[in-house]
């Protein structure tokens, strides 16, 4: 039985349609609705606070490692890790226009390992879903108020509001109190709904003018940003640097330290850098830790990040901390169901191979496509390891975190769908970790991705669920909220 009655589901569906919670399809000039769960994900406050503290420590260690890799003894390693980057991204990785540690937003994607959360990826360049998370939380809260006929003031949800936290962070990063913020994205951006939501939300909350524009519309002259001849005080960048014309005014502004957030930080989110974090925190003798790392940062890495290594021949550190001289034969002896392979530069689930699905037709086809293999026969683990370890694409191997499944009843384009088991993930947003908010996605496939048909679930902490008056539930970690109110 879903949490919301049919009447409340209509309230929920209407709010989601008005937002809209959807992926923009430019060719048809329409939004494809994102499935929205009727069953919230509720997470224990103490777990969330612990994860936020660890993510704060890991983010600091990651930024210290990036600076450490610019030192002459580490440059060969940096070239290996970042060789796929070019243009503005390569310049930023090398520190040619270092924006420092000031990020407006960063997203940590996690899966459950029993009752704990493990970090799988970090997104720092244009992390998305702040608005999606806000849409589904606010829509569900409004539907629940309708369901329970209560009248709680929902302003308490702002404490962990992802859209509000991003606005507050941008306002703090601005050199002066901004009057005009430009949201810069590519034409036909699939996340247009998110950007328009942020435009409206920021204008209503802060009273600032917010323009959604394309990078070629921005001018940079005499140290000033302008749009159609009018001053722009701050830019929220929502376009990959690889899509920016390196000769454009916008590129010049990025290089010269204009107030553009996030700055260009593609090097911070490559999977290989997570492998470096994991390896150096484990104490690899030939790969020293940055001297600036604290023991607390190392402990957070070991606690929150699964065992992750570069997929290269030669010595490596095993999960127990011992060093093995030849890594590839060791991997051949490992149960495939315990491993996940990822291209270092992939995103959105692209370039992820789950070992347990190695023999499926879909995985075999993807392996051949990624490795550009024309052989009609199946791809063996041995042939894959040889090809992947020798490039040109850099790969990492990671301990598989299997996650949890839960039953989600959900709305598909406003139509209720019967509950079924789905994988789900949890993402936490920083860098304001004192009030970190998050989002949750669900999908039938273990690679949880909105672009492949995944959906969004309202994410609440136990304290928020209690104030909303949601039904009683186990006060531990995560659960499906079930109704105490009979559907009308």
* HSE toward the beta carbon, residue 37, CA cutoff 13 A: 32
Q: What is the pLDDT of residue 420?
A: 85
Judged against a pLDDT cut of 70, whether residue 66 lies above it is answered with yes
Q: Is the pLDDT of residue 395 over 60?
A: yes
For residue 342, give the nearest of 321, 317, 370 by alpha carbon: 370
d(CA 388, CA 105): 32
pLDDT band for 279, please (50, 70, 90 cuts).
very high
Question: Which among 272, 246, 17 has a CA at the least distance from the CA of 143?
Answer: 17
Computed on alpha carbons and rounded to an integer, the radius of gyration of the chain in Å comes to 23
Given the structure tokens 């030192």, which residue do they identify? 71
> What are the two backbone dihedrals, phi and then psi, of residue 270, each rounded to the nearest 5 degrees?
-70, 145
d(CA 483, CA 114): 25
Give the tokens for residue 242: 């690889």
Query: What was the pLDDT predicted at 483?
Result: 34
Helix, strand, coil distribution of the chain in percent, nearest 5? 40, 25, 35
pLDDT (0 to 100) of residue 339: 96
Does the pLDDT of residue 50 top 80, yes or no?
yes
pLDDT at 473: 46
The total number of residues written for the chain in this structure: 488
> What distance in Å separates the CA atoms of residue 187 and residue 150, rounded to the nearest whole number?
43
pLDDT, tens digit (0-9, with 9 covering 90-100), for 357-390: 999 998 998 888 887 877 778 899 998 999 899 8
| pLDDT tens digit sequence for 176-224 | 999 999 999 999 999 999 999 999 999 999 999 999 999 999 999 999 9
> Is the distance from CB of 123 to CB of 186 less than 8 angstroms?
no
| Cβ 156 vs Cβ 463: under 8 Å | no
pLDDT higher than threshold 60 for residue 77: yes
Among residues of the chain, what percentage have pLDDT more than 70?
95
Helix (H, G, I), strand (E, B) or coil at 172: helix
Give pTM, 2 decimals: 0.93
CB atoms within 10 A of CB 314: 12
Q: Which one is predicted more confidently, 321 or 225? A: 225
Mean pLDDT of 250-258: 96
Question: Is residue 53 predicted with pLDDT exceeding 70?
Answer: yes
Confidence of residue 449 (pLDDT cuts 50, 70, 90): confident
Question: Rounded to an integer, what distance in angstroms lies between the CA atom of residue 241 and that of residue 12?
Answer: 36
The answer on pLDDT for 472 being more than 60 is no
Q: How confident is the model at residue 56 (pLDDT cuts 50, 70, 90)?
A: very high
**In which band, very low, low, confident or very high, does the pLDDT at 475 lie, cut at 50, 70 and 90?**
very low
pLDDT over 90 for what percent of the chain? Answer: 76
Distance CA 472, CA 168 (A): 33
> Which residues on adjacent β-strands are paired with residue 33?
22
In this model, does residue 154 exceed pLDDT 90?
no
Dist. CA 454–CA 351, nearest whole Å: 17
Which of 256-265, 301-310, 313-322, 432-441 is predicted with the least confidence, judged by mean pLDDT?
313-322
Distance CA 124, CA 121 (A): 10
Give the model's pLDDT for residue 480: 40
């Amino acid at each position: 039985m879903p949490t919301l009655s049919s009447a409340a589901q209509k309230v929920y569906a209407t709010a989601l349609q008005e937002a809209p919670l959807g992926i923009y399809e430019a060719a048809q000039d329409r939004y494809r609705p994102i499935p929205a769960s009727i069953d919230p994900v509720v997470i224990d406050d103490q777990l969330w606070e612990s994860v936020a503290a660890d993510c704060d420590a890991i983010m600091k260690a990651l930024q210290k490692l990036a600076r450490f890799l610019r030192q002459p003894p580490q440059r060969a390693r940096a070239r290996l890790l970042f060789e796929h980057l070019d243009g503005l991204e390569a310049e930023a990785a090398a520190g040619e226009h270092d924006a420092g540690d000031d990020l407006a937003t960063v997203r940590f994607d996690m899966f459950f390992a029993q009752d704990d959360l493990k970090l799988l990826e970090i997104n720092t360049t244009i992390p998305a879903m702040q608005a999606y998370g806000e849409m589904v939380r606010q829509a569900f809260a409004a539907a629940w108020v309708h369901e329970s006929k209560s009248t709680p003031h929902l302003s308490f949800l702002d404490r962990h509001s992802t859209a509000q936290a991003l606005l507050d962070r941008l306002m703090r990063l601005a050199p002066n109190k901004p009057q005009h913020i430009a949201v810069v994205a590519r034409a036909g951006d699939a996340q247009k709904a998110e950007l328009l939501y942020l435009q409206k939300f920021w204008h209503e909350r802060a009273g600032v003018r917010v323009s959604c524009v394309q990078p070629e519309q921005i001018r940079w002259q005499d140290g000033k940003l302008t749009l159609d001849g009018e001053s722009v005080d701050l830019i929220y960048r929502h376009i990959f640097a690889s899509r920016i014309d390196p000769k454009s005014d916008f590129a010049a502004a990025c290089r010269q330290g204009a107030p553009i957030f996030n700055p260009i930080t593609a090097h911070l989110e490559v999977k290989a850098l997570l492998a470096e974090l994991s390896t150096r925190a484990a104490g690899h003798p030939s790969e020293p830790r940055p001297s600036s790392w604290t023991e607390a940062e190392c402990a957070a890495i070991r606690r929150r990040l699964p065992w992750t290594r570069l997929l290269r021949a030669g010595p490596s550190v095993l999960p127990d901390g011992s060093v093995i001289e030849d890594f590839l034969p060791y991997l051949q002896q490992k149960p495939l169901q315990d491993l996940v392979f990822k291209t270092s530069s992939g995103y959105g689930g692209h370039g992820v191979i789950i070992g347990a699905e190695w023999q499926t037709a879909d995985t075999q086809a993807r392996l051949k496509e990624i490795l550009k293999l024309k052989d009609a026969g199946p791809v063996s683990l041995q042939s894959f390891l040889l090809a992947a370890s020798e490039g040109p694409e850099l790969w990492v191997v990671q301990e598989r975190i299997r996650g949890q499944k839960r039953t989600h009843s959900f709305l598909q384009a406003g139509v209720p769908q019967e509950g079924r088991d789905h994988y789900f993930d949890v993402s936490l947003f920083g860098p304001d970790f004192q009030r970190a908010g998050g989002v949750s996605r669900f999908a039938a496939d273990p690679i949880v991705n909105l672009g492949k048909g995944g959906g969004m679930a309202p994410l609440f902490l136990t304290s928020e669920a209690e104030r909303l008056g949601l039904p009683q539930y186990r006060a531990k970690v995560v659960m499906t909220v079930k109704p105490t109110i009979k559907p009308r």
